Structure 1
Amino acid sequence: MALELKENQDYMERARRLAREFAKDAVERDKAGGTAKIQRDLIRDSGLLRLLIPKEYGGDGQPWSSVLRIVREFARTDGSLAHLFGYHFIMLTQIHLKGTPEQKAYFYRETAKHNWFWGNSSNPIERSIIGHREGERYFLNGKKTFSSGSPDSDVLLVSWLDRDSGKYYDGVVPTRRPGVNVLDDWDNIGQRQTGSGTVVFDQVWIEDHAIVDTTATKHKVFATIVPILSQIILANIFIGSAEGAIAEAKQYTLNQSRPFLNSNVEKASQDPYIIRLYGDFWVELASAASLVDKAMEKVDRIWEKEFDLTEEERGDCAVWVAAANVAAGKAGLDVSQRIFEVMGARSTASKYGYDRFWRNIRTHTLHNPAEYKLKNVGNWVLNDQFPKPDFYS
């Protein structure tokens, strides 16, 4: 399937054209689950996978906010593809954050050259892959769940425990390397085409140059910002999903909803209670989106700082991103489940798939509970303490 997208076309226009294409069968694909192969290839062909890569390595040299705007655009139609797009950059840039300059240059260039789509098998709290050295190579055995983006990926960021030293490593493995088995076992209520299931490793070898060398970066603040990037991606998925829910509800209300028997109006769109609810949706979502936009500005600034980033600058950004994520999650959950109030009983028919927006947001918000983000924000407000870097903050 081909979609005419020009390299010199504005990146947001390319993203909007892709989103319109994704919308054509978003409901059917959500029901089917599995891998959105055609849509992933359209993203590859668009050139957008190179968006964040510096120009000297063959990319577009855009800031993180450019990636995040596209995440939000995709989420208006398809939260799964928004997730896959954002997390491609999370995996790719970990080499930049944690590795050597040579590794950064190599993986950026190879990704730009070959249009690699990155996936992961690096769930940090599940240390179930064991590695051991044999001569010049490491061999990996075990499995990991929540391996988002692994089906149809070109390379995987994988993490493992060394059998002898107990040290934790990250590395890059081609997805099609012998011994890598990506299982089709993701069957959750939401994000149904993210392929966030299990990857099994059976004597998978990895070269030294593909093992992330953290010798020079492990004590750098810049190397700790992965959770910030992850949370700001999810915040934009929440906002985009809610925007998409409102847009679809609007069309249904205008074109299909029937006025309530006792409303004394000719059209549902004239019902004052329905009109008020749309106003309520907009106020709630616009407030959360403004906070997310502010946090995106701070993410751009810490990315520009690179290895000159200070703990205070990171901490300030972490607080804003946590707050934005919480606000976006709350607004997204509320709006996406209340849209049925402005559409009516017939809108609950499964053929419409309007529930997918809520299911997608709900699936994500459970992985990193709002309460713990609020605890970090509250500790900063009350005790002037920034969040400590860990897997989720």
Structure 2
Amino acid sequence: MSFDLDTSNPHFAKAVELRKIFVKDAVARDKAGGKPLDQLRLLKESGLLTILIPREYGGAGEPWSTALKIGREFAKVDGSLGHLFGYHFSSVHAAFLRGTPEQAANSYRRSAAGNWFWGNTANSFSKSLFGRQEGEWHVLDGFRPFTSGSHIADYLQVAWEDRLTNERRFAAIPVTREGVHIEDDWDGIGQRQTGSGRVTYSNVRIHRDEVFDFKPNEVKPYQTLTPFQQQSVLLNVFVGSAQGALIAAREYTNEKSRPWIHSGVDKHTDDPWVKRVYGDLYVKTQAATLLADQAAQALDDVWARGHDLTEEERGQAAVKIASANVFAGNVALEVTSQIFEVMGARSATNENGFDRFWRNVRIHTLHNPAEYKTRNVGNWFLTGGYPEPATFQ
């Protein structure tokens, strides 16, 4: 397995073409942070931002697995772009999961026609954005942290708590709405261009027709799939980062690494230790890739069930996605760290930028603790009990 996409699929062929462009300045952009505006322009020109929108609304009607594998391809060279691409689709589908059929159709149609890129300001943990009702309007004040994609978005998914009832509400609004301030203050050690900082809302008015008709006490299984989308994006960023780090390390080792003074070999690649490490990392990355593919198929299956999805079907998919996520994160951390041992001391320079793979994975896994997903899988294995629908599950 070479980790190559099947380019007979035109969407995959376009992704490979873009990945070859993205890699050219990936190190420099990681150092600079900020907005990947040229890359966004290329994504819009490629048509890839609409591939998961149903055909009847102007999209390509592709399954989730297509977007996940494209995000994985981007993450081979740039974890930020893999992250942004995948999370975009979670917000694209927000109206379908939380709104009326009419709201979903309208959102899909307008997003496809406008070729919108979506950002997210619906952080599940932050109780920092509140709204009050004024007639037909909800007026928002406060902020949301970890707003991935907001800094380059056309449209935003937003969630807030009602000041009186504490009920969580959801909507979608243009990023140009008066009172919306994109702080673009993300300062993480990794995922430097994701714009995952703060968005401030100052007297932002949202009409009741823009608010999704979501009833927390009447949630159906299909409406609990948002964590599956997000977890699937993360795990494919992990896998893509591991693949990309391993490929980049192999190239460096073949072209630049020198044998250790006590190795007894003339070429670094002849050292049995080096061969064993690469073999071990490849096997683990291959296993993570196969688990990721199984998890992507599981998401495709439950998504295709739509309103008919059962709790048991959801639970089965939850275990597969959690398992793949845990393994992918652990493998990616190991691969992106251990490659330095077999590349050698000269590889660990800022110019090479190989550390970006580890930094991207490390910061992502901190937002996605493997411990709790591992417990869920263990509980299912012991008792047969599926993870309860909740944030990150």
Partner of 1:126: 126
Moved more, 49-58 or 257-266: 257-266
Equivalent positions of 1:27-66 (< 5 A) are: 27-66=27-66
Label 1:218 to 1:22 Cα distance change in 2 as closer, same or farther (>3 A): farther
Partners in 2 of 1:272 and 1:119 — Cα distance?
47
Corresponding residue of 1:82: 82
Whether the 8 Å CA contact 1:98–1:217 is kept in 2: the answer is no
**One-letter code aligned to 2:113:** K
1:319-359 deviations in whole A, cap 9, x for unaligned? 11000000000100001100011110000011111011111
Q: Take 1:128 and 1:74, find their aligned partners in 2: how far apart are those partners? A: 33
TM-score normalized with structure 2 length: 0.96
2: CA distance, partners of 1:219 / 1:339: 45
Q: What amino acid sits opposite 2:98 in the alignment? A: K
Q: What's the CA shift string for 1:211-269, capped at 9, x where partnerless?
A: 11125994210000111111111111000000000111011001111111122222211
Partner of 1:221: 221
CA distance in 2, matches of 1:238, 1:218: 34
Corresponding residue for 1:3?
A: none
In structure 1, stretches of 5+ residues that fail to align are 1-7
Q: Secondary structure at the match of 1:25?
A: helix
Q: Is the 8 A contact 1:100 1:216 kept in 2?
A: no
CA separation in 2, counterparts of 1:14 and 1:210?
Answer: 34
**Higher mean displacement: 126-135 or 59-68:** 126-135
Q: Is the 8 A contact 1:64 1:300 kept in 2?
A: yes
Aligned mates of 1:39, 1:220 — CA distance in 2: 37
- Name the amino acid aligned to 2:222: F
Which stretch shows the higher mean deviation, 196-205 or 164-173?
Answer: 164-173
Percent of aligned pairs sharing the same letter: 49
Between 163-172 and 149-158, report the one with greater CA deviation. Answer: 163-172
Match of 1:182 in 2: 182
Match of 1:27, SS? helix
Mapped partners of 1:214, 1:346: distance in 2: 55
**2:302 corresponds to 1:302:** yes
AA in 2 matched with 1:105: A
Secondary structure of the residue aligned to 1:334 is helix
Partners of 2:340 and 2:347 within 8 A in 1: yes
Mapped partners of 1:110, 1:207: distance in 2: 18
Once the two structures are superposed, what CA deviation does each residue of 1:186-218 show, in whole Å capped at 9, x if it has no partner?
A: 011110100000000001111222211125994
Q: Secondary structure at the match of 1:151?
A: helix
CA offset digits 1:22-60 (Å, max 9, x no partner): 101000100111111111111111110101000000000
TM-superposition CA deviations, 1:3-29 (whole Å, max 9, x none): xxxxx9800111111111110100010
> Is this contact kept in 1: 2:96–2:104, CA < 8 A?
yes
Alignment match, 1:13: 13
Q: Which whole-Å CA distance do the structure 2 matches of 1:153 and 1:219 have between them?
A: 28
Equivalent position SS for 2:362:
helix
1:104: which partner in 2? 104
Q: 1:216–1:198: structure 2 CA closer, same or farther, 3 Å change rule?
A: closer
Distance 2:91 2:196 in 1: 14
1:256 has 2:256 as partner: yes
The RMSD of aligned alpha carbons is 1.3
Partner of 2:266: 266
In 2, the alpha carbon distance for the partners of 1:152 and 1:340 equals 34
Matching of residue 384 in structure 1 with residue 384 in structure 2: yes
Map of 1:352 onto structure 2 = 352
CA contact (8 A) 2:53 2:61 kept: yes
CA distance in 2, matches of 1:97, 1:121: 16
Corresponding letter in the other structure for 2:135: G
Contact 2:91-2:157 at 8 Å conserved across structures:
yes
Structure 2 unpaired stretches of 5+ = 1-7
Q: Which runs of 4+ in 1 moved over 6 A?
A: none
Any residues of structure 2 matched to 1:164-179 within 5 Å, and which?
164-179=164-179
Distance 1:46 1:241 in 2: 23
Range with greater deviation from structure 2 (57-66 or 182-191): 182-191
Aligned to 1:202: 202
Structure 1's 218 and 47: CA in aligned 2 closer, same or farther, altered over 3 A? farther
State the shift of 1:185 in Å.
1.1
Show the counterpart of 1:335: 335
Q: How does 1:137-176 map to 2 (within 5 A)?
A: 137-176=137-176
Moved more, 215-224 or 86-95: 215-224
3-state SS of paired residue (2:119): strand
Instruction: Give the letter for the 1:309 counterpart.
Output: L
Q: CA deviation at 1:165?
A: 2.3
How far off is 1:166 after superposition?
A: 2.0
Q: Which secondary structure does the structure 1 equivalent of 2:200 belong to?
A: strand
Distance 1:287 1:177 in 2: 45
The aligned amino acid for 1:30 is D
Contact 1:186 1:192 in 2 (8 A): yes
**Structure-1 residue corresponding to 2:5:** none
Tell me how many residue pairs correspond in the alignment. Answer: 386
Letter in 2 for 1:228: F
| In the alignment, structure 1 residue 371 sits paired with structure 2 residue 371 | yes
Does structure 1 retain, via aligned residues, the 8 Å contact 2:169–2:214? no
